[in-house]
Every structure is written in structure tokens, then in C-alpha cells.
Amino acid sequence: MADTADRFAAYRASFRLDGKIALVLGAASGIGRASAEAMAALGAHVICADRNRDLVEEVAAELSREGAGGSAHVIDAAKAENVRALAAAVLAKHARVDVAVTTPAIHVRKLMCDYTDEDYDRVADLNLRGTFYFLREFGRIMGRQRGGSLIASSSVRATTLEPGLAIYGATKAGIVQMVRGLASELGPLGVRVNAIVPSIVETALVTPLKARPEVFNALARHTVFNRWAEPREVGAAVAFLASDAASYVTGTAMLVDGGWTAIDGAPTGLTKTHAE
């Protein structure tokens, strides 16, 4: 009986993040903010970073009031020197980093033949190069400390596309491959590296789409739930990957896509359950 109780307690504890130092780059809004809140709610001390000073300080202040961290750092995720400075600042204060999450991305929706060199640079520099800088810097730290969880943000557009998404999708596919490669390299040192792969997430960035309900609803119909995800639903997946409950999960691209990639077109057919 005692053994069962101990196992149950261990399961519950494995989902907690008490005592862990977690960093979220992109914490000012959307998936980044939800990830910061989810990990804070599970006991982590969360450090927030973003290029939007006002919003990242607001999020950090909210977490501080909840007793879950509160420091804010303003950086440009596409600049290697900014990422290095962030890592140095975190280590100077906390000596280690148990979880590091990066979410920033940009999208220029254009047909590939209409892309300018500047368009390509904007998308590739932040999405792919910026993720590389982050994974490299915090991968080095976690390798030295022989432990940690690195989490990057990809997208279903890594595998499913439509016109105007080629370059964005290429960067998101590249992120998955970097995650897999780094997981193979850092696994022997006790470091886990994973990606989350969301589909459509209802954030402030999609507010203009709500003015075009035919487009907004058409995208929702790509999922089996016929709705957009809430940021907290993706943040919960991040918190799982951060936790010891995911201790044997690495090198994976975790789908949080509402069935987007499981079906071919909008779901149709039976709407009643077998019981009915």
C-alpha cells in the first residue's frame, strides 16, 4: 500500500516545476506569455524576455505578484550578441537554467517568386537564425550543467502549406531538424530538446482576421474541433515538456494542432456518437 502511495506521489510531483529556473523568450504575448504563466503556476521561477519592453515588464510584474519570478529582459532575438547577453545575465543571477523556451517568429505572407531579399532575411533571420542562436547558447549552458530542457516553437506549416507560406514553412521545418539534431548531441549529457508544433492559436496577432469571419472560420474548420486553440492550451504542452513527467521525451515535434495534420480537409460525416 505504501509503495502505491509513493508511486502516486511521484507521478504528481513529476508534473511540478518547483525550484526550477525557467526562461521564456517571447514572453510578452501569445504562446510565450502562456508558457511563462503555465510554468509559473506549476512552481517554476520564470524569467521573461522579449523585445517589447512595456509588455514583457507587465508580464514579469504579474508573475512577481504571484511569487513566481518577475525579472524582465529586453532583447532582439535575431541578434547573437543579445542572446549571449541574456544568457550571461541569467547565469549571473541564478547560476543555472533548468528550462529555456523560445517562441518569437515573423511571417511575411507572399508568393515565393514575389519575395524580396529583404523579406527573406526578415523571416529567416528571426525564425531560423534566432532559434539557432538561442538553442546554441542555452544548449552550451545545459550541456555544462549536465541537465535541462530546451523547447523551441515550430508550426504545422513545417509540413502543410498553402500559397504564400513557403519561406515561413521552410524556417519552421528547419527548427524541427535543429531540435532533432541537438537532442542527439546533448542527450548523453542529460539535456532534452523538443519542439512544440501548434496550428492556429487565437492571439492578439489574429485580431484582424476576426474582421474577415469567412477566413477565420475556414481556418477553424481545418481542425477536428472546428475552433482555434487558446494560448493556454499550447502553454500547457510547453509546461509538460519542461517537467520531469517528460523525462524520456526528447527530439520530438509535439503536435498541439487540434487534429490539423491528422485529416485531409475539413472534417465531415457522422456527428453523433456510437452511443446515440
Q: Summarize pLDDT for 121-139 with one digit per residue, the tens.
A: 999 999 999 999 999 999 9
Predicted confidence (pLDDT) per residue in 224-250, tens digit? 999 999 999 999 999 999 999 999 999
Q: In a 3-state reduction of DSSP, which class is residue 99?
A: strand
| Residue 154 binned pLDDT confidence (cut-offs 50, 70, 90) | very high
Which residues have C-beta within 8 Å of that of residue 192, sequence separation ≥ 6?
148, 149, 150, 183, 186, 241, 246, 247, 249, 250
CA atoms of 103 and 88, how far apart (whole Å): 20
Name the superfamily (CATH) of residues 16-262.
NAD(P)-binding Rossmann-like Domain (3.40.50.720)
Mean residue pLDDT of the chain comes to 93
CA atoms of 77 and 86, how far apart (whole Å): 10
Neighbours of 253 (CB within 10 A): 21
| Residue 1 binned pLDDT confidence (cut-offs 50, 70, 90) | low
pTM: 0.93
Beta strands in 170-221 (DSSP E): 191-198
Predicted confidence (pLDDT) per residue in 69-115, tens digit? 779 999 999 999 999 999 999 999 999 999 999 999 998 999 999 99
Closest CA to 75 of 110, 32, 14: 32
Predicted confidence (pLDDT) per residue in 158-191, tens digit? 999 889 999 999 999 999 999 999 999 999 999 9
Closest CA to 216 of 225, 224, 227: 227
DSSP code string of 132-180? HHHHHHHHHHHHHHT-EEEEEE--GGGT---TT-HHHHHHHHHHHHHHH
User: Would you state the pLDDT for residue 268?
Assistant: 57
Q: Is 120 a catalytic residue?
A: no
The one-letter amino acid at 263: I
- Give the alpha-carbon dihedral of 155, 236, 134, 99, to 10 degrees: -160
Percent of the chain whose pLDDT exceeds 90: 87
User: Would you state the pLDDT for residue 273?
Assistant: 41
Catalytic choice (11, 115, 133, 168): 168
CA atoms of 259 and 175, how far apart (whole Å): 21
Which residues have C-beta within 8 Å of that of residue 6, sequence separation ≥ 6?
none
- Per-residue pLDDT at 45 exceeds 90: yes
